[in-house]
């Protein structure tokens, strides 16, 4: 095969991936008459930056930090005139007077690959003379390699996360955990079916509909407890779909000037809450007719709505908060980490961030000396400081340590409750729902304040080192083969 700067014909004709059919060769041809085409190697740097931009978002980096990271990479590669706009579904990139690129992307989180892509970005930022062709080979290897855990182990871990959430996230009872363990597989199997059959756009509605369909059967025939327990059950089964990161990153991006991206994420969280509530209600009608007739004193539509108010968390079947956040968070966090495709060797650092942060958060709630939104901000502030210290130590991206904590806090749960309560109020049930948009936005803003305050304190320090090292890097310290870059990437990753 012919070689262009270390890239074979097969590599050059390979699609960029992640929903983008354009190939590396086609991107290079766009720069045939550009100032960047002094050498093929210089134009190939554009391909590397484009591929890194899409990959970072696909594997879980937020857009604000991804833009900072890509800016450092571009400067190190000599692409100083970078114009970059990252969104939840599209990436816009241009270099000076060259062509503008609009690429497709989606946001997920795959910690295993995110850590290595971030380490590769760090390596490129620290070395001005990186062999771009070999860096692309390393990136291709990261993209192509299988995930650390098979689909069955992943499914078992998600089942464990949803089951433990009854205690660790929603402060429910032991019977609630048993019911969640029964109910969660129906949502997970539906999720797997949608992923395999190309029905991702219907996944949210179908999963919530199935949970609403099965939940009254579990309550009537398996775990026979008061109806208010069902509120915890559907929260556990749909834990993966409750808005979390969208709330934090939405307000966070608005604060840092990315108004369109931030507003889009907040609106996505709002619509997700409504879809969850509607799906649950539709499914509930199959076997939940008149389920609340004895509670409200009449039958009909008002007695056939999804329970939205949780029981009082007192009694011998409810473990204390010290037991939950001191002991039960051990298995909960471990399964959270594994479900995010985090390698076992990387778990310790993230655990040292999430575990004490969650305990401190709950201690502040129990102390009852601060408003709830202040506690939300304080909890994320503590976690982000610890995550930033971890980033300073071994370059683990902050989001890797924060996301498991957000899963356990389940900030979208009260908003879905508010949607369901609003439906009940429409049918003259004596409830007083909070404004779910106000609740959603305020909670997201509180988390964003804590996040941005901590990052503001650490960012200048954490991001000063790459600039210093790039300035000091001798030109003769080039990396000329894939093994050198790969070994450096492995040493940079935690």
Tell me the β-bridge partners of 93: 84, 101
**157-194 tens-digit pLDDT:** 999 999 999 999 999 999 999 999 999 999 999 999 99
Q: Where are the domains of the chain?
A: 9-144, 151-461
**231-244 tens-digit pLDDT:** 999 999 999 999 88
| Residue 13 neighbours by CB under 8 Å, 6+ apart | 23, 24, 25
**112-165 tens-digit pLDDT:** 999 999 999 999 998 888 888 889 999 999 999 999 998 899 999 999 999 999
User: Which pLDDT score is estimated for 467?
Assistant: 46
**321-342 tens-digit pLDDT:** 999 999 999 999 999 999 999 9
Tell me the β-bridge partners of 94: 83, 100
Instruction: Give the Cβ contact number of residue 37 at 10 Å.
Output: 16
User: Which pLDDT score is estimated for 333?
Assistant: 94
Query: Which pair of structure tokens corresponds to residue 373?
Result: 């939104």
Tell me the β-bridge partners of 85: 92
Q: State the average pLDDT over residues 405-415.
A: 87
Query: Which pair of structure tokens corresponds to residue 410?
Result: 């389940």
Residue 6 near residue 137 (C-beta atoms within 8 A): yes
Rg of the chain, C-alpha, whole Å? 24
CA-to-CA distance for 284 and 389, rounded, in angstroms? Answer: 46
**461-477 tens-digit pLDDT:** 655 554 444 444 443 33
**Neighbour-count burial of 332, counting CB atoms closer than 10 A to its CB (0-12 exposed, 13-18 middle, 19+ buried):** buried
User: Which pLDDT score is estimated for 223?
Assistant: 94
Q: State the average pLDDT over residues 398-422.
A: 88
Query: Which pair of structure tokens corresponds to residue 140?
Result: 């291709």
User: Which pLDDT score is estimated for 217?
Assistant: 96
Instruction: Say whether 393 sits in a helix, a strand or coil.
Output: helix
Reported confidence tier of residue 253, pLDDT bands at 50, 70, 90: confident
Q: Could you give the dihedral angle defined by the CA atoms of residues 80, 254, 418 and 270, in that order, rounded to the nearest 10 degrees?
A: -50
CA 403 to chain centre: 6
Query: Residue written as tokens 């356990």?
Result: 408
Reported confidence tier of residue 448, pLDDT bands at 50, 70, 90: confident
Query: Which pair of structure tokens corresponds to residue 385?
Result: 């400081």
- Better-scored residue on pLDDT, 252 or 169: 169
CA-to-CA distance for 230 and 227, rounded, in angstroms? Answer: 6
CA 57 to chain centre: 10
Pairing of strands 7-8, 15-17: unpaired
Which helix (H) or strand (E) segment holds residue 420: the answer is helix 413-426
Closest to 22 in 3D by CA, of 45, 57, 50, 2: 50
């Amino acid at each position: 095969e012919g070689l262009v700067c270390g890239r074979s014909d097969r590599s050059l004709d390979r699609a960029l991936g992640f929903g983008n059919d354009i190939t590396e060769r086609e991107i290079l041809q766009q720069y045939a008459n550009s100032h960047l085409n002094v050498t093929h190697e210089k134009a190939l740097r554009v391909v590397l930056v484009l591929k890194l931009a899409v990959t970072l978002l696909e594997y879980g980096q937020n857009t604000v930090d991804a833009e900072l990271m890509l800016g450092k990479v571009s400067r190190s590669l000599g692409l100083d005139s970078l114009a970059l706009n990252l969104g939840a579904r599209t990436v816009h990139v241009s270099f000076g007077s060259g062509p503008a690129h609009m690429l497709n992307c989606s946001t997920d989180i795959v910690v295993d690959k995110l850590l290595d892509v971030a380490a590769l970005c760090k390596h490129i930022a620290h070395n001005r003379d990186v062999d771009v062709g070999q860096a692309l080979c390393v990136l291709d290897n990261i993209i192509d390699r299988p995930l650390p855990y098979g689909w069955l182990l992943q499914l078992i871990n998600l089942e464990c996360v949803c089951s433990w959430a009854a205690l660790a996230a929603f402060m429910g009872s032991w019977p609630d955990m048993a019911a969640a363990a029964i109910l969660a597989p129906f949502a997970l199997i539906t999720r797997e079916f949608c992923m395999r059959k190309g029905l991702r756009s219907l996944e949210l509605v179908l999963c919530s509909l199935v949970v609403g369909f099965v939940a009254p059967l579990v309550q009537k025939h398996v775990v026979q407890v008061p109806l208010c327990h069902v509120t915890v059950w559907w929260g556990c089964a749909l834990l993966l779909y409750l808005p979390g990161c969208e709330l934090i990153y939405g307000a966070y991006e608005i604060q840092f000037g990315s108004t369109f991206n931030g507003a889009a994420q907040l609106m996505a969280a709002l619509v997700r809450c409504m879809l969850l509530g509607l799906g649950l209600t539709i499914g509930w009608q199959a076997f939940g007719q008149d389920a609340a007739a004895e509670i409200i004193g009449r039958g009909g539509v008002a007695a056939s709505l999804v329970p939205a108010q949780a029981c009082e968390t007192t009694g011998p079947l409810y473990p204390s908060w010290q037991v939950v956040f001191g002991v039960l968070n051990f298995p909960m966090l471990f399964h959270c980490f594994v479900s995010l495709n985090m390698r076992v060797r990387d778990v310790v650092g993230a655990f040292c961030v999430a575990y004490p942060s969650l305990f401190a958060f709950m201690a502040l709630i129990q102390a009852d000396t601060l408003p709830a939104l202040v506690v939300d901000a304080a909890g994320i502030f503590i976690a982000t400081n610890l995550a930033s210290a971890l980033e300073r130590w071994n370059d683990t991206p902050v989001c890797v340590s924060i996301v498991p904590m957000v899963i356990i806090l389940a900030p979208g749960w009260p908003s879905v409750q508010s949607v369901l309560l609003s439906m009940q109020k429409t049918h003259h049930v004596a409830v007083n729902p909070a404004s779910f948009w106000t609740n959603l936005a305020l909670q997201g803003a509180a988390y964003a304040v804590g996040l941005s305050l901590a990052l503001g304190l650490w960012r200048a320090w954490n991001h000063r080192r790459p600039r210093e090292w790039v300035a000091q890097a001798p030109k003769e310290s080039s990396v000329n083969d894939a093994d050198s870059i790969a070994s450096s990437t492995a040493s940079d990753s935690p």
